[in-house]
Structure 1
Amino acid sequence: MKIAIVGGGISGVTAAWYLSKQHDVSLFEANDYIGGHTDTHQIDIAGKTWSVDTGFIVFNEYNYPNFSQLLRELEVDAFDTEMSFSVHNADTGLHYNATNLNKLFCQRKNLVNPNFYRMIRDIVRFYKQSPDILKQPNNTQTVGEYLKKHHYSDVFIHDHLIPMACALWSGPSVSLLEMPVRYLIAFMANHKMLSLTRRPQWRVVDGGSNQYINQFIKRFSGQIHHSSAVEKIQRIDNGVVVTVNGQEQSFDAIVLACHSDQALSILADSSYDEATVLGNIDYQKNHMQLHTDESVLPPNKAAWASWNVYVSPALQEKCTVSYHMNTLQKLEAPVEFVVSLNSAERVDPEKVLVERHYAHPVYNEKTMAAQQRWADISGQRQTYFCGAYWGWGFHEDGVRSALNVVQQINGKAE
C-alpha cells in the first residue's frame, strides 16, 4: 500500500518505521525538522558543543517497553539518570527537595514547621489511601473533589501533589485539580509513584533524545518531507487525496499522527464521529525557554533537583517548572543549562539560548470520553489516528498508539 503519515513526532516516526517494512510510506512534517517534542539543541559554550534536550527527556524500561524496543531496533544507547523533584513556593518561601531526608529538610526551619510535617503525613496517607479509588470504576470525582472530601491539607495539595502533576503534564494547577482522580491515581500507580521504594530507574538517551531520530532518518526506507504542512485531506473511494504546498497527491491510506485538533482542521470531509471525538480534546500551550539563568532554581542549592516547580498563586493559570539539564543529562558544563516552562518574566533574556512553544493535551472528563472512542474513527475511510493524546500523553503512549495503527493497517492488508 501507498501510505501517507502526517506528523513527524514519536507517533509518526514509530508508524513510519514499522509500516515501511511492508508498505511505501511518505512522512509529512510541517516543521523543518522531525521529532516533534523530541527536540535536542546543539549549544556551543567555552569551545565545546553540548547536546541539550528541551522536549522529551526521560523514560524508563518498565513503563516504556515499546519505546525501549524501538531504541534497541535503532541501536540507540541510553544511560541512567536522577529523577529528583523540588518545590519552591514564592509566597511562603518554602522550598524542599524530595530526594532524601537531608535535602527534604535542606531548609532547616522546616524541622520545626508543623505544616511541613502535615505535608509529609499527607504524602504517606495519600500513597496508602488513594489506590482504593481504582476499585471504584464508576467514580467520577475530580482531583480537587477527592482531596477536599478526604481533608488533605493545603500544603500537601499546593506544595506537593499539584506541583508534581504540573511537572508531569505541563498543565496549570487549575486544570489539574479538575482532572479525574482515577486518571491521576492510575498513572501514579502504574509508574510506581505511590511507593517510597522500588521505583523504576529513569534513563536519558545518550547524546540527546534526537539520536533516535537521527538513526531513524538513516535507516528509513520511505520518503521524508520537511516543511510540508498538509493543508487538506479528502477521502475518495479506495483512497485519500492529500494537498501539500498546493499540490495534490493520492494515497491508499493516511495516518494522522499529529495532534487531534490539527488532524480535525485538515480533514475536509470530517465525519460526525471524527468531529466529536477529535474536537473534545483540548490543548494547553506552553512557552519553553532553554537558558542559563540559574536564579529560576530554588534559592538553596541543596534544593536543586531534576524537576523544579515554582509555586505562586498569581501563576495558577500556567505551569511554571524548570528542568535542570546538567543533572538530567549529566552535563559537566561550565554553566547551568535550564529548561523552563512559562517563566519568561523570571528568566534573564540575555541568558536565553532557545525558545519554543509546545502544546500538551488537557486531561479532563471530555478527553477521557474521547479516548474511549478510538476504534470508532481509526480505520474508517482509509484514515487512521495515532498520537500520545490517546493515552497519558507521554512517549510510550505515542508509540503504543502507533503500533495499534500498524496492526490495524497490516491486518487489513493481509
Structure 2
Amino acid sequence: MGEAANLNSPAIGFAHGRPRRIAVVGSGIAGMSCAWLLSQVHDVTLFEADDRIGGHSHTQIAPTNDGGVAVDTGFIVFNPQTYPNLCALFENLGVATLDTEMTFAVSLDGGRLEYSGTDLGGIFAQKRNLVSPRYWSMLKDLAKFYRRAPKDLALLGDEALGAYLDRLGCGTPFREDHLYPMAAAIWSSDVGDIPNFPAASFIRFCENHGLLKFSDRPTWRTVKGGSREYVAKITAPYADAIRRNCPVRSIHRDERGVTLTLDRGEERFDDVVIATHADQALALLADADADERRLLGAIHYRRNHAVL
C-alpha cells in the first residue's frame, strides 16, 4: 500500500535513437497496463492467445426483463486503501466507478447452518443459533483470530494455517463453519486444501483487505458498467497493435533482443514483457535459466468451473 506510482513515466531507453519494439504477451491487467504505458513512447505489440482481451476482467450480460445487466465473473471489486495504483490508473483513464459492498454468507449441509456477516440480523439469521454451543464457539474463536493473527504475523515463518490454528486453540466450528469456507470462496480452492495454506500469506491478505476487524472496513468500489468499460479505455490507444487469436509458442533471448515464435513464423523485438501466469511464462521461455525455472516452477495452478 502507499502512494500511487507515477503513471506517466515509461522509463525505458531508446534503441539506437529510435523507440524500442516491445512485445507484450498476455492481455490481463498486467499486460494491458504495461502496453498502455509503454505505447506512449515505444512501438508496442500486444499478443493474446484467446479471441478476447482482458484476462480476469470478463463482463457477461445476464438477461433480465429490462434487457440485461452487466455481471463480472472475474475481477469485480477494489478499494482505495489496498489498490492505490489501480485507483490512480482508473482516474487517469476516466473510468467511472461506484460504491459497492463486499459481503459474505454461508449455507452448509443443505441449510443446516446459514448466516451472513452483514449485521446482527444476518449473524443470527437462524434464531436457533442463539442457543447453539457450536455457533458460539465459532464466534468466540473468530474474535480470537481477529485479535491475535495480526500480532502473530511476523513470527509465523512458513507455518501452515492449520498448524497455526492448532497452536492458537481454534476449534472445529470456527474452521469448518467460517474460515475454511471463506478462504475457499476467495481463492476458488477446495476446502480441504485450506489448512495447508501458508498462514503468514493468508493473514497478510486478510489484513490488507480489512477482513480481520468487525468495523471500519474499507469502502469497496466497482467499475460502472462492468470491467469491460476499463478494458475498452485502457486498450484504445493501441487497439490496432493488439493481435487476438495469436498465441506465442516460444521466446528466445539473445544479446540483440528477443525472438518470438508464432504459428506463422518468427518475429523480432528489442524487449518482451511476459504478462502471463507463472507456469505459462516458464513454458514460453526456450532458454530459461536455473533461477527462472526454480521461481516460476514453484507456483502451481488448478482449474475451476465458474457458473453464472
> Corresponding residue for 1:78?
97
Paired residues of 1:24 and 1:222 also in contact (CA < 8 A): no
Q: Provide, for residues 345-396 of structure 1, a one-character-per-residue CA deviation record: whole Å limited to 9, x for no partner.
A: xxxxxxxxxxxxxxxxxxxxxxxxxxxxxxxxxxxxxxxxxxxxxxxxxxxx
> Corresponding residue for 1:59?
78
Measure, in 2, the Cα distance between the counterparts of 1:43 and 1:179.
34
Is 1:272 aligned with 2:290? yes
> Corresponding residue for 1:405?
none
Measure, in 2, the Cα distance between the counterparts of 1:238 and 1:170.
42
> Corresponding residue for 2:109?
90
> Corresponding residue for 1:101?
120
Residues 256 and 215 of structure 1: is their aligned pair in 2 closer, same or farther, counting only changes over 3 Å?
A: same
Measure, in 2, the Cα distance between the counterparts of 1:32 and 1:108.
50
Q: CA deviation at 1:285?
A: 1.1
> Corresponding residue for 2:144?
125
Measure, in 2, the Cα distance between the counterparts of 1:171 and 1:221.
35
> Corresponding residue for 2:192?
174
What is the DSSP-based 3-state SS (H/G/I as helix, E as strand, rest coil) of the residue aligned with 1:79?
strand
Question: 2:129 aligned to 110, 120, 123, which one?
Answer: 110
Question: Greater CA deviation, 56-65 or 166-175?
Answer: 166-175
Alignment-mate amino acid for residue 24 of structure 2: I
> Corresponding residue for 2:222?
204
What is the DSSP-based 3-state SS (H/G/I as helix, E as strand, rest coil) of the residue aligned with 2:183?
helix
Is 1:49 aligned with 2:80? no
Q: Provide, for residues 40-79 of structure 1, a one-character-per-residue CA deviation record: whole Å limited to 9, x for no partner.
A: 0123433513211111111111111111111111111110
Measure, in 2, the Cα distance between the counterparts of 1:146 and 1:237.
48
Paired residues of 1:133 and 1:139 also in contact (CA < 8 A): no
Q: Provide, for residues 182-223 of structure 1, a one-character-per-residue CA deviation record: whole Å limited to 9, x for no partner.
A: 111111222222111110011110000111001122233761
Paired residues of 2:209 and 2:218 also in contact (CA < 8 A): yes
Which structure would you say has the larger Rg?
2
TM score, norm. by length of structure 1: 0.67
> Corresponding residue for 2:307?
289
Paired residues of 2:26 and 2:48 also in contact (CA < 8 A): yes
> Corresponding residue for 1:33?
52
Measure, in 2, the Cα distance between the counterparts of 1:75 and 1:176.
39
Question: 2:164 aligned to 146, 149, 153, which one?
Answer: 146
> Corresponding residue for 1:185?
203
> Corresponding residue for 1:380?
none
Measure, in 1, the Cα distance between the counterparts of 2:240 and 2:253.
22
Aligned alpha-carbon RMSD (Å): 1.5
> Corresponding residue for 1:134?
153
Q: CA deviation at 1:265?
A: 1.0
Is 1:157 aligned with 2:170? no
Paired residues of 2:24 and 2:46 also in contact (CA < 8 A): yes
Measure, in 1, the Cα distance between the counterparts of 2:63 and 2:147.
47
> Corresponding residue for 1:218?
236
Alignment-mate amino acid for residue 237 of structure 1: E
Measure, in 1, the Cα distance between the counterparts of 2:162 and 2:110.
21
> Corresponding residue for 2:14?
none
Alignment-mate amino acid for residue 22 of structure 1: V
Residues 17 and 50 of structure 1: is their aligned pair in 2 closer, same or farther, counting only changes over 3 Å?
A: same
Unmatched runs of 5 consecutive residues or more in structure 1: 291-414
> Corresponding residue for 1:250?
268
Q: Provide, for residues 308-331 of structure 1, a one-character-per-residue CA deviation record: whole Å limited to 9, x for no partner.
A: xxxxxxxxxxxxxxxxxxxxxxxx
Q: CA deviation at 1:14?
A: 1.0
Residues 221 and 31 of structure 1: is their aligned pair in 2 closer, same or farther, counting only changes over 3 Å?
A: closer
Alignment-mate amino acid for residue 16 of structure 1: A
Measure, in 1, the Cα distance between the counterparts of 2:153 and 2:280.
33
Question: 2:37 aligned to 1, 11, 18, which one?
Answer: 18
Q: CA deviation at 1:134?
A: 2.0
Residues 64 and 73 of structure 1: is their aligned pair in 2 closer, same or farther, counting only changes over 3 Å?
A: same
Runs of 4+ in 1 over 3 A off after TM superposition: none
Measure, in 1, the Cα distance between the counterparts of 2:68 and 2:239.
30
Paired residues of 1:80 and 1:204 also in contact (CA < 8 A): yes
Alignment-mate amino acid for residue 264 of structure 2: G
Is 1:259 aligned with 2:277? yes
Alignment-mate amino acid for residue 248 of structure 1: E
Alignment-mate amino acid for residue 179 of structure 1: F
TM score, norm. by length of structure 2: 0.90
What is the DSSP-based 3-state SS (H/G/I as helix, E as strand, rest coil) of the residue aligned with 2:307?
strand
Measure, in 1, the Cα distance between the counterparts of 2:74 and 2:181.
18
What is the DSSP-based 3-state SS (H/G/I as helix, E as strand, rest coil) of the residue aligned with 1:27?
strand
